[in-house]
Amino acid sequence: MNLPPLLLIIPACAYLSSGLLYTWRLISRRGRRAATVGLASGSIGALLHGVFLLLQFTENPPAICATVSGAASLIAFLTAAAFLAVERPFRLEAIGSAVMPLCFGATLYAALNFTAPAVPDTLRSAWFFIHVPSALLAYVAFAFAFAAATTYLGEGRLLRSKRLAAVVGVMPSLDQLESTMYRTTTFGFLLLSIGMATGALWAQDVWGTYWSWEPKQTASLVTWLVFAGYLHHRLVRGSRGRNGAWLIVVGFVCVILTFLVVGGLEHDLHRFL
């Protein structure tokens, strides 16, 4: 059985409608029910997506994360599942309007740009099981940090323009968003560091050099530096607030660029991810 990748359009649409419902909740005063329907819609999407990934995995294990599209799909699933799980307990429904569209975009990308996995033998290594999951989870964490940061910036703007009604009961406090940003970034940064370190060790194993300045490595380093800058600011100088949120936004743009542009380049060494 060969799963047509276009099936991913279904969860993608569920994510999109979920994202729109969460956004409606933010805009409309009377949209309380919208968030619940958004949660349901997103959950259905995540469930179908999970089933798809499971089938794909049983069919061809490396396919689920050995290509850019496969990884995008997996990241979207993990992000959606994690968000839908923590949305209610942490009262983070406001960031759904940023998280779910990201999941939609990634899933749609995976559906439209599906490439058959061609896994070279060099990749069949134990490093795979540390390097790839930690990198993927780092991206998931950064997606969360990005969503929290944009919500933080939006809420700050609304409060500044005295639009209290648009904020109260709809968005978490600035303080909570800031700590969400900080925690998810710390988590993501640690995972990214592990991913890059194992990547270097692995590279030494198969290519004979720790670091070769190939585009993916370079871009990852830039991403790493941006988030390191944020954490330095936050930890050493105790700085919070808008600047930090903007740094996270920049960092996440780097993640996207690393992932899509560099990952999509025809390059000998790191073509697959």
Partner 1 sequence: MRLLAGGVNHRSAPVEVRERLALRPPQQIAALRDVIRLPQVAEALTLSTCNRLELYVVESPCSGTLLLDQLVTQITGVPLEELSRYLYVYEDRAAAQHLCEVASGADSMVIGECEIMGQVKEAAELARTAGTLGTVLTRLAELALQAGKRARTETGIDEGCASVASVALSLARQICGDLKRTVVLLVGAGETAELVLQRLLEGGTKQVLIANRTLERATELAKMYGGTAIALHDIYEIMTEADVVISSTGAPHPVIHAEPMRTVVRARGGRPLFMIDLAVPRDVEPATGNWENVFLYNIDSLQQIVHEALREREGQLPRVREICADQAEKFWAWAASLELVPTMLELRARAEALRQQELEHALKQMGHLTVKQQKHLHLLTKRLVQAIIEEPLTRLRAKACEGDGLTYLNVIRELFGLDRSPAPFPPPSPESNDEGDQP
**Residue numbers at the binding site for partner 1 (CB under 8 A):** 29-30, 155-156, 159-160, 162, 164-165, 167-169, 171, 173-176, 237-244
Residue 157: CB minimum distance to partner 1, A: 11
Of the two residues 68 and 94, which places its CB atom closer to partner 1 in the complex? 94
Closest CB to partner 1 among residues 60, 179: 179
**Which positions ≥6 away from 118 have C-beta within 8 Å?**
none
Q: Extract the tokens encoding 35.
A: 């968030």
Q: Which residues contact 45 (CB under 8 A, 6 or more apart)?
A: 10, 11, 12, 13, 14, 15, 18, 80, 103
Q: Least distance (Å) from partner 1 to the CB of residue 97? A: 17
Q: Which residue has the tokens 């997606």?
A: 143
Q: Cβ contacts of residue 243 below 8 Å, gap of 6+?
A: 233
- Exposure string (b/e) for 240-260, b if CB count within 10 Å is 16 or more? beeebbebbbbbbebbbebbe
The three-point CA angle 261-214-253 to 5° equals 35
- The distance of closest approach from Cβ of residue 180 to partner 1 in the complex, given in angstroms and rounded to an integer, is 11
* Nearest one of 141, 2, 117 to 67, comparing CA atoms: 117
Would the CA dihedral through 94, 98, 103, 108 be positive or negative?
Answer: positive
Q: Which is nearer to partner 1, 15 or 230 (CB)?
A: 230
Q: Shortest distance, CB of residue 215 to partner 1, whole angstroms?
A: 34
173 or 212, CB closer to partner 1? 173
The nearer residue to partner 1, 15 or 152, going by C-beta atoms, is: 152
Helices (H), the chain: 9-27, 32-59, 68-86, 96-112, 128-160, 174-207, 215-235, 242-256, 263-264
- Work out how close the CB of 136 gets to partner 1 at its nearest, in angstroms, rounded to a whole number: 31
- Our CB check for partner 1 shows the closer of 122 and 173 to be 173
Report the residue number, 1 or 162, with the smaller CB distance to partner 1: 162
Closest contact distance (angstroms) between CB of 25 and partner 1 is 15
DSSP conformation class of 56: H
Smallest distance from partner 1 to CB 246, Å: 11
